[in-house]
């Protein structure tokens, strides 16, 4: 199964470092940052787990719940978390899914044979409260994720949903947004009474409040 943007992500039941979960129930009415890593007790993964933990307050203020996965056991995860906390100066509290039989990794196509037959690559899934996939990214095993980009794209997705706009390249909160081509100028004047700039008929930019 190929998981496409807008699809409802597969549900699953699994053991985690914080107890058993049913994935859809665990997400509840929040956003989820679901990410895989190749293996416990590996260097790049240790930094990524630590960085996710360090950003706990940033995820929380956006209503986003992080959850990791690797094809290791819960017991291995719990031992590894001690190393993550010690080496990355943090206290990791989010759940890490145990997937020693690779069933969940296969369900989400996290196993790429060109990288490994048993270890998950660095997959990223941003999932909204309706359990729909809003963004996916895949990094190779040797390269850690850009967490600034993960936070940025969550901001962009949530802003686009609330304001009904598109966001340009490298957009960050406070930057100008783009009016959707499906919105006529007459509609845009009503929707954006603060005014907007028409650079081209198809490219109109507007200031928005993202507070």
Query: Which residues are catalytically annotated?
Result: 45
**Torsion over CA of 180, 170, 8 and 102, rounded to 10 degrees?**
160
* Calpha distance 208→174 (Å, rounded): 7
Distance (Å, rounded) from C-alpha 59 to C-alpha 56? 5
How many whole angstroms separate alpha carbon 59 and alpha carbon 132? 18
**Strand partners of residue 165:** none
Inter-residue contact 37 to 49 (CB < 8 Å) = yes
């Amino acid at each position: 199964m190929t998981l496409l943007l807008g699809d409802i992500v597969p549900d699953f039941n699994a053991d985690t470092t914080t107890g058993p979960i049913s994935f859809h129930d665990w997400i509840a009415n929040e956003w989820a940052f679901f990410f895989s890593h190749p293996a416990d007790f590996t260097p790049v993964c240790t930094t990524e787990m630590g960085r996710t933990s360090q950003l706990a307050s940033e995820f929380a203020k956006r209503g986003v719940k992080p959850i990791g996965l690797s094809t290791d056991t819960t017991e291995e995860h719990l031992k590894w978390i001690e190393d993550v906390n010690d080496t990355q100066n943090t206290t990791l509290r989010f759940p890490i899914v145990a997937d020693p039989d690779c069933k969940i990794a296969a369900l989400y196509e996290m196993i790429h044979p060109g990288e490994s037959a048993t270890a998950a690559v660095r997959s990223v899934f941003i999932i909204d409260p309706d359990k729909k996939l809003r963004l996916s990214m895949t990094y190779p095993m040797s390269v850690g994720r850009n967490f600034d980009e993960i936070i940025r794209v969550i901001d962009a997705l949530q802003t686009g949903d609330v304001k009904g706009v598109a966001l340009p390249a490298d957009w960050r909160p406070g930057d100008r947004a783009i009016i959707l081509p499906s919105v006529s100028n007459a509609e845009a004047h009503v929707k954006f009474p603060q005014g907007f700039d028409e650079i081209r008929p198809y490219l109109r930019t507007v200031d928005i409040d993202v507070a």
